Amino acid sequence: MRQFYEHYFEASAGEKYHNPKTTFQSYFLSFADGARLEIGTKENSVSPLRNTVSTGYAHLAISVGSKERVNQLVQQFQTDGFTIKSGPRTTGDGYYEAVVLDPEKNEIEITI
């Protein structure tokens, strides 16, 4: 997942954190606009099933600055074999966006 965000969204990863006692491992990813995202994993953790109704985390939205960049990323994701769940399109509330599934099947909304 670190490589996914570095490659497609130009994130820079800090040093890997690992707590051997809890088996938790993570990276903080930094983006050019100052935003940061922590991605982590833990041994024997169970991922929630996708395509089911659930509460909590729904998706992650990443602003890429322009309609043209949204379109470029969607094209690249398609070329690289990722699932485009929707878009690119203009939503009812006026956002231009597309939704792609990342390698773990999380929904990533790419918007202006």
User: Does residue 25 contact residue 43 with C-beta atoms inside 8 Å?
Assistant: no
Query: Domains in the chain and their CATH numbers?
Result: 1-43 (no CATH), 58-112 (3.10.180.10)
pLDDT single digits (tens) 37-47 = 999 988 876 65
Q: How many CB atoms lie within 10 A of CB 22?
A: 9
51-62 pLDDT, tens per residue?
555 556 788 999
**Residues 17/25, Cβ–Cβ less than 8 Å:** yes
Q: What is the mean pLDDT of each run of 10 residues along the chain (112 residues)?
A: 95 95 94 92 67 66 95 97 96 94 94 94
